[in-house]
């Protein structure tokens, strides 16, 4: 497959380069059907440029082709719930409205960095919905799901994955959530 949202990068089949992704990501990639696996590409990047704005600028990738994965933590009494939210880089996740209601929690916020890293087995700035802990909902904004191709983290700061938005919906726990992404500003 040829990936088109790579800017100046060259993507290679992700299943052929497990060394470029975090261990939990590699495990999921190896378990995918061939039809899904071939839709996912990976490219090595400078880890110092993993943050979306720097990445897009350096590698000439359109921000509206880049999807951010944020880990949200919600509480209801003594119950703690986590979810991953995928929104385009040109938007932000509606954590206190849409996500809080979807998780059925009283309060929701971005999970602390150290906790998100420890629970996912991934690097901060590279966390991706591929390879998240079992049972976590993956909330996907419709714009991400409908994108012909999106760029997401590889589980480490030194890589990015390229795949059709609809491929994300094949991940366990993935669902489209209307209104998840809100315009910046």
Tens digit of pLDDT at every position of the chain (185 positions): 789 999 999 999 999 999 999 999 999 999 999 999 999 999 999 999 999 999 999 999 999 999 999 999 999 988 999 999 999 999 999 999 999 999 999 999 999 999 999 999 999 999 999 999 999 999 999 999 999 999 999 999 999 999 999 999 999 999 999 999 998 86
Could you list the beta-strand ranges (E) of the chain.
12-13, 41-44, 67-76, 79-88, 91-93, 107-110, 138-140, 150-153, 159-163, 174-176, 181-183
Burial class (CB in 10 A: 0-12, 13-18, 19+), 90: middle
Q: What is the domain partition of the chain in residue ranges?
A: 12-166
Fold of 12-166: YbaK protein (3.90.960)
The per-residue pLDDT for 183 is 87
pTM tops 0.85, yes or no: yes
């Amino acid at each position: 497959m040829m990936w088109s949202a790579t800017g100046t990068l060259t993507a290679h089949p992700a299943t052929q380069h497990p060394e470029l992704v975090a261990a939990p990501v590699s495990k999921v990639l190896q378990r995918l059907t061939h039809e899904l696996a071939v839709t996912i590409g990976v490219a090595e990047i400078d880890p110092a440029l993993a943050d979306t704005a720097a990445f897009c600028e350096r590698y000439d990738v359109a921000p509206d082709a880049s999807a951010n994965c944020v880990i949200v933590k919600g509480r209801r009494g003594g119950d703690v719930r986590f979810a991953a939210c995928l929104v385009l880089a040109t938007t932000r996740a509606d954590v206190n409205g849409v996500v809080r209601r979807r998780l059925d929690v009283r309060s929701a916020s971005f999970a602390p960095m150290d906790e998100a890293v420890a629970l996912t087995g991934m690097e901060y700035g590279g966390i991706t919905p591929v390879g998240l802990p079992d049972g976590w909902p993956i909330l996907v904004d419709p714009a991400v799901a409908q994108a012909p191709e999106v760029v997401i983290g590889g589980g480490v700061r030194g890589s990015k994955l390229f795949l059709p938005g609809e491929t994300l919906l094949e991940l366990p726990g993935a669902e489209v959530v209307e209104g998840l992404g809100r315009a910046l500003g």
